[in-house]
Amino acid sequence: MSSSERYHLTLVGSPGAGSLGASPAGAEPRSPGEAGESAEAPLLQVGDLARMAGKTVRAIHHYEELGLIEPVGRSKGHYRLFEREALVRIRWIHKLQALGLSLAEIRTLVRGRHGSASAQQSAEQLRRTYETKLVEVRARVEELTALQRELEASLAYLDSCSTICTAELTPTDCAQCDRHPETEETDLISGAMV
């Protein structure tokens, strides 16, 4: 059954309101279940999805163009409607981008998942990607930890300048400074002094 067959949009607001835009106090369109069942989670218009995800509407449209997310239908006013799972997908996309994947690489992951012969094959592809990224993240963490130590040492060096330096010295004198015998000079300091 297609997504358009699964969802039946109803108007929200006063009877005869005529459009989804007339919904009171921010009410969202719902897709009702069968008679006697409670309504399913509300569908989200693209603007609401963008706001909840912290993205622009243009970014949401771009994700849709790339096939990363798909609307489940349109409202009477022709606005795209998304399930809340789209918000989960957008958060996933954001984290993958933070890991250094491009949108094209993410699209390849999504297509690979949809094109996999089995869930096991799909999971293996995702595992390989995550494993590669974990190696990169660990290397980056080591690099950042070393940089943190160097920044701390550089700040200790600069803090001592306020007590051992004199007003008569000029910035060009810093390159030959010998007033920091117990403070480590780092690349961040020596590079700034030349």
CATH number, domain with residue 69: 1.10.1660.10
Residues 68 and 151 in one domain: no
Q: How many domains does the chain have?
A: 2
| More confident position, 173 or 65 | 65
Residue 83 lies in a domain: yes
Mean pLDDT value of segment 79-104? 95
Q: How far apart are CA 158 and CA 154, in angstroms?
A: 6
Reduce the DSSP state of residue 151 to 3 states and report it: helix
Mean pLDDT value of segment 143-158? 92
Q: How far apart are CA 104 and CA 106, in angstroms?
A: 5
Global confidence as pTM: 0.65
Q: Quick one: 63 exposed, middle or buried, by C-beta within 10 A (0-12, 13-18, 19+)?
A: buried
Residue 114 lies in a domain: no
The closest of 171, 95, 162, 165 to 133, measured between CA atoms, is 95
Q: How far apart are CA 175 and CA 71, in angstroms?
A: 62
pLDDT tens-place string over residues 157-166: 888 777 777 7
Return the pLDDT at 178.
73
Q: How far apart are CA 82 and CA 62, in angstroms?
A: 14
Mean pLDDT value of segment 129-133? 96
Mean pLDDT value of segment 64-93? 94
The closest of 101, 109, 97 to 68, measured between CA atoms, is 109
Residues 96 and 143 in one domain: no
Residue 121 lies in a domain: no
Domain of residue 164 covers 139-193
Lowest-pLDDT range of 8-17, 29-38, 49-58, 59-68? 8-17
Residue 166 lies in a domain: yes
Q: Where residue 182 falls among pLDDT bands split at 50, 70, 90?
A: low
Residue 126 lies in a domain: no
Return the pLDDT at 27.
38
Residues 153 and 78 in one domain: no
Q: How far apart are CA 6 and CA 33, in angstroms?
A: 9
User: Tokens 């809340």, residue?
Assistant: 84
Residue 131 lies in a domain: no
Return the pLDDT at 44.
95
